């Protein structure tokens, strides 16, 4: 089943994850420390991934788990000389799953945000994930000023919710939904005129509504997705950084980006510890 989801910051999640880390006994924290040698010795890379979010991770018509994050993680496992073992995670439980040792690494549509950087350690990004507004094809909506009189749908508490709330377009009615799927359905059914979401949702909407009915109107921000590891796994993140650099240089990551996201992989930051996300105008 293909479910349209997006990876966004949840303050409640971050608070819970941070609390889980704080209350974890010292001995357990030490036991959870991992090295590249540990993973190689185990023969398994335990990966937390979202498995119902096209095109990042989902089950195809043949029943095979696939998608951009899935193939990137499989490349990583191959590089380590181990097999990848995937555990389904959601935006609500992915960081706790990592911090409690259920998985070794997250490849789970997880963007680099300052609050998250306080809880987990990020590799350098391996892809971008743009926040855009999507509406009916043919509608001239190039920015906030063109939203007058429109019904704007956004998933509650997401970057696109924050963006439209801050912009407060005059005459627009903002409708907030519980998740991305509900927001997309509101657009397709005509309940709203335009929605905020990830750029990758345009293709997903086409699969449901048909080609040419909706398109991207304008972009407001660019986030960067990366591997996330536990905060004590500095050696592992160094390995991940070298892996990503090698796969960008060798063309494997650009090829996967073209296959799953479309277009050319843009220039990415070389660290996961800087400021993020960036306004779209700063990265074009």
List the one residue out of 205, 5, 199 whose CA is nearest residue 90.
5
Q: How far apart are the first and last CA of the chain?
A: 34
Provide mean pLDDT across the span 210-237: 94
Is 113 in the same domain as 244?
A: yes
What domain range is 157 assigned to? 130-222
* pLDDT for the residue 133: 96
CATH number at residue 270: 3.40.190.10
Is 208 in the same domain as 180?
A: yes
Q: What number of CA atoms fall less than 13 Å from residue 44's CA on the CB side? A: 10
Is 235 in the same domain as 251?
A: yes
Report the C-alpha gap between 96 and 101 in whole angstroms: 8
* pLDDT for the residue 33: 57
Provide mean pLDDT across the span 5-33: 41
Asked, for residue 283, whether it belongs to a domain, the answer is no
pLDDT at 274 over 80: no
Beta-carbon contacts of 279 under 8 Å, excluding residues fewer than 6 positions away, are: 220, 221, 222
Is 116 in the same domain as 36?
A: yes
Asked, for residue 264, whether it belongs to a domain, the answer is yes
Total number of domains in the chain: 2
Is 102 in the same domain as 17?
A: yes
Kindly report, residue by residue over 75-121, the tens digit of the pLDDT. Answer: 999 999 999 999 999 888 999 999 999 999 999 999 898 889 999 99
Is 157 in the same domain as 23?
A: no
Interaxial angle between packed helices 180-189 and 201-209, expressed in degrees from 0 to 180 and rounded to the nearest 10:
50
Is 122 in the same domain as 135?
A: no
Is 119 in the same domain as 92?
A: yes
Is 110 in the same domain as 233?
A: yes
* pLDDT for the residue 155: 86
Is 69 in the same domain as 42?
A: yes
Provide mean pLDDT across the span 50-56: 89
Mean pLDDT, the chain, integer: 86
Is 104 in the same domain as 242?
A: yes
* pLDDT for the residue 162: 83
* pLDDT for the residue 240: 98
* pLDDT for the residue 207: 85
Provide mean pLDDT across the span 174-200: 92
Buried b (16+ CB within 10 A) or exposed e, 18-53: eeebeeeeeeeeeebebeeeebeeeeebbbbbbbbb
Is 32 in the same domain as 118?
A: yes
């Amino acid at each position: 089943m293909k479910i349209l989801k997006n990876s966004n910051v949840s303050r409640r999640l971050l608070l819970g994850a941070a609390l889980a880390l704080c209350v974890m006994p010292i001995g357990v924290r030490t036991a959870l420390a991992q090295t590249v040698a540990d993973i190689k010795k185990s023969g398994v890379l335990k990966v937390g991934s979202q498995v119902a979010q096209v095109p990042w991770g989902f089950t195809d018509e043949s029943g095979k788990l696939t998608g951009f994050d899935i193939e990137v993680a499989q490349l990583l496992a191959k590089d380590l000389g181990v097999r990848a073992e995937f555990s389904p995670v959601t935006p609500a439980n992915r960081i706790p799953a990592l911090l409690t040792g259920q998985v070794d690494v997250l490849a789970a549509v997880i963007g680099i945000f300052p609050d998250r950087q306080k809880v987990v350690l990020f590799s350098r990004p391996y892809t971008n994930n743009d926040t855009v507004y999507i509406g009916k094809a043919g509608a001239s909506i190039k920015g906030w000023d063109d939203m007058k009189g429109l019904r704007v749908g956004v998933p509650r508490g997401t970057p696109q919710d924050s963006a439209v709330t801050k912009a407060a377009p005059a005459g627009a009615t903002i409708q907030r939904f519980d998740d991305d799927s509900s927001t997309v359905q509101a657009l397709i059914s005509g309940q709203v005129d335009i929605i905020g979401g990830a750029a990758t949702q345009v293709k997903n909407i086409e699969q449901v509504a048909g080609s040419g009915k909706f398109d991207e109107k304008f972009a407001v921000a660019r986030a960067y997705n990366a591997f996330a590891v536990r905060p004590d796994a500095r050696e592992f993140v160094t390995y991940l950084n070298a892996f990503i650099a090698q796969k960008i240089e060798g063309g494997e990551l650009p090829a996967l980006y073209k296959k799953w996201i479309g277009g050319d992989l843009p220039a990415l930051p070389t660290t996961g510890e800087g400021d993020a996300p960036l306004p779209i105008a700063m990265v074009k």
